[in-house]
């Protein structure tokens, strides 16, 4: 009976150590369970990735169409208003040869002032440039989504898995979000109504599908699985009822003091193979944990070095972008003020009658021609240099660089404090964002860094 109870104790100890080993393995390498980040499997199934990519494609296609229309419209506005201002200035220059009246010149000036006010208010050129840049980002994202959809539609033979991993999915998902964020908010609001109509139509189709070929409303719910407690362990020998109170987990015989006060040598306790195996498993688990800690420490150092390198690259670029933002803003503001001042002077001179306190009867046409010529030259330089566009690009660059720089610096502080490496998907997102920023603003990082 004692041998049977010892066997039962060995079985229980073996089960406990097996559970502990499984917990250690889970803590050391969670990816062994086949799970990626955020609860997603490491390899995504076809039934998930293909519909998701299709939905992204529809959203990006609608967004691309809308942005393309807005970009073409604002390009037309920017070009037409600038050309009209130059033409009107040329007509004013030829006032004497064309024999235009002062009233006609005043009307030209009023019209030019209105056009310039529209350019200043609605920022035709900067908005057109921003929309054109958004088109490029959306096109690249559509290509990436199409590639992932192709990979998600195929997989290993006789398997529901696709060729897309959770890390690749998170990267494309972040790229889609970045492409949408680059589009101006007013464009997204303009397509909000169309999106709501599309969502309502999809909901209606879904309800119709569920009524026809969807879930059977009359089907019975599956019964809940219940686990009943077994009466006895399958590997345990029969135990006599009178000996139930016996401690089955006693480690060995107890040495008793003899009557004559002399200890007699007792037999050595037998070696338990299960205990030896458990000690070996504990040693292996400890070695795995130590190896994992060393790996994490090395990974933290590598990630810190890469993030510090990003910060070193972004610091001078942020200073240069802020500097040129102020310079271009000053130039654009000064140019606008000069144009409006010249328009006002042209209108005032053309409205002053001959013989008044300022008599320009002989030189009026020459003065008007000179002012209109200067105004036309300034407008031509503006069309060539696009100072408003440069100012908008510098402001956008400054904002993007400072945003990423702040995120990287905060993550460096967090890594120094916690000494815990970033997850693979999170660190890949930082590297991809930095690479995208370097690609987009290569001029700033190359010439000014």
The mean of the pLDDT values for the chain is 75
| Rounded Cα gap, residues 317 and 449, in angstroms | 5
- Binning pLDDT at 50, 70 and 90, where does residue 44 land? confident
Q: Is residue 301 in a domain?
A: yes
Residue 27 tokens read as 């803590």
Q: Is residue 344 in a domain?
A: yes
pLDDT digits (tens, 9 = 90+) for 193-219: 555 655 565 565 555 544 444 444 444
Q: Is residue 133 in a domain?
A: yes
User: How far out from the chain centre does Cα 125 lie?
Assistant: 28
> Regarding predicted confidence, which is higher, 199 or 401?
401
| Rounded Cα gap, residues 118 and 258, in angstroms | 112
| Contact indicator for 20, 116 with CB cutoff of 8 Å | no
Give the residue-averaged pLDDT of 143-164: 88
Domain count, the chain: 1
- Per-residue buried b or exposed e for 362-383, using 16+ beta carbons within 10 Å of the residue's own CB: eebbeebbebbeebbebbeebe
Strand partners, 165: 43
DSSP 8-state code for residue 29 = -
The closest alpha carbon to 180, from 310, 102, 66, belongs to 66
Give the residue-averaged pLDDT of 170-178: 86
Q: Is residue 261 in a domain?
A: no
Please report the pLDDT score of residue 441 as a whole number. Answer: 77
The closest alpha carbon to 311, from 176, 405, 432, belongs to 405
User: How far out from the chain centre does Cα 214 lie?
Assistant: 35
Please state, in angstroms and as integers, the Cα–Cα distance from residue 376 to each residue in 168, 256, 371, 379, 390, following that order. Answer: 54, 116, 9, 5, 20
Q: Is residue 386 in a domain?
A: yes
Region for residue 220 given its phi and psi (left: phi exceeds 0; alpha: psi -120 to 50; beta: otherwise): beta
pLDDT digits (tens, 9 = 90+) for 116-144: 888 888 888 888 888 888 888 899 899 99
Q: Is residue 265 in a domain?
A: no
Please report the pLDDT score of residue 445 as a whole number. Answer: 63
What SS3 state is found at 249? coil
| Rounded Cα gap, residues 417 and 429, in angstroms | 21
Q: Is residue 128 in a domain?
A: yes
Please report the pLDDT score of residue 38 as a whole number. Answer: 53
| Contact indicator for 79, 200 with CB cutoff of 8 Å | no
| Rounded Cα gap, residues 335 and 379, in angstroms | 9
pLDDT digits (tens, 9 = 90+) for 309-366: 888 888 888 888 888 889 988 998 998 899 889 988 888 887 777 666 666 667 778 8
Stated pTM of the model:
0.58
The closest alpha carbon to 118, from 88, 77, 175, belongs to 77
| Contact indicator for 368, 350 with CB cutoff of 8 Å | yes
Residue 114 tokens read as 């209105």
The pLDDT of residue 76 is above 90: yes
Please report the pLDDT score of residue 203 as a whole number. Answer: 60
List the helix and strand counts (H, then E) for the chain. 13, 2
Phi first, then psi, for residue 348 (nearest 5°) are -65, -45
Q: Is residue 194 in a domain?
A: yes
Owning domain of residue 339: 40-209+289-447
Residue 408 tokens read as 């990287």
Ordered DSSP codes for 186-242: HHHHHTHHHHHHHHHHHHHHHHHHHHHTS--TTSPPPPPP--PPPSS-TTPPP--GG
Sign of torsion, CA 228 229 233 239? Answer: negative
| Rounded Cα gap, residues 401 and 442, in angstroms | 12
| Rounded Cα gap, residues 366 and 300, in angstroms | 74
């Amino acid at each position: 009976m004692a041998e049977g109870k010892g066997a039962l104790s060995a079985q229980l100890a073996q089960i406990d150590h097996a559970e502990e080993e499984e917990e250690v393995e889970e803590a050391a390498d969670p990816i062994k369970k086949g799970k990626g980040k955020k609860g997603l499997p490491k390899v995504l199934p076809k039934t998930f990735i293909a519909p998701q990519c299709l939905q992204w494609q529809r959203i990006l296609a609608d967004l691309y169409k809308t942005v393309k229309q807005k970009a073409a419209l604002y390009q037309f506005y920017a070009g037409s208003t600038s050309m009209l201002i130059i033409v009107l200035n040329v007509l004013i220059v030829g006032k004497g040869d064309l024999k235009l009246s002062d009233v006609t010149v005043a009307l030209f000036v009023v019209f030019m002032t209105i056009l310039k006010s529209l350019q200043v208010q609605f920022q035709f050129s900067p908005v057109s440039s921003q929309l054109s840049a958004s088109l490029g980002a959306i096109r690249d994202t559509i290509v990436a989504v199409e590639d992932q959809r192709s990979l998600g539609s195929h997989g290993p033979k006789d398997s529901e898995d696709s060729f897309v991993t959770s890390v690749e999915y998170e990267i494309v998902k972040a790229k889609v979000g970045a492409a949408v964020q680059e589009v101006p908010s007013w464009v997204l609001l303009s397509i909000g109504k169309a999106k709501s109509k599309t969502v309502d139509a999809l909901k209606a189709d879904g309800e119709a599908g569920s009524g026809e070929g969807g879930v059977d409303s009359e089907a019975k719910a599956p019964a809940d699985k219940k686990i009943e407690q077994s009466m006895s362990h399958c590997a345990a020998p029969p135990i006599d009822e009178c000996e139930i109170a016996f401690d089955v987990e006693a480690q060995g015989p107890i040495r008793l003091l003899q009557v004559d006060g002399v200890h007699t040598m007792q037999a050595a306790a037998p070696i338990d193979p299960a205990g030896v195996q458990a000690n070996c498993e504990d040693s292996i688990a400890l070695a795995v944990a130590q190896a994992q800690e060393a790996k994490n420490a090395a990974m933290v150092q590598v990630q810190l070095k890469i993030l510090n390198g990003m910060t070193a690259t972004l610091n001078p670029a942020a200073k240069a972008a802020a500097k040129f933002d102020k310079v271009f803003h000053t130039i654009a503001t000064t140019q606008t003020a000069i144009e409006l001042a010249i328009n006002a002077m042209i209108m005032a001179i053309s409205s002053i009658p001959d013989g008044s306190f300022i008599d320009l009867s002989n030189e009026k046409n020459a003065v008007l021609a000179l002012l209109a010529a200067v105004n036309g030259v300034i407008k031509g330089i503006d069309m060539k240099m696009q100072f408003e566009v440069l100012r908008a690009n510098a402001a956008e660059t400054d904002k993007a660089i400072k945003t990423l720089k702040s995120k990287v610096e905060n993550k460096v502080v967090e890594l120094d404090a916690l000494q815990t490496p970033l997850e693979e998907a999170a660190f890949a997102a930082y590297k991809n964002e930095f690479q995208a920023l370097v690609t987009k603003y290569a001029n700033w990082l190359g010439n000014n860094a």
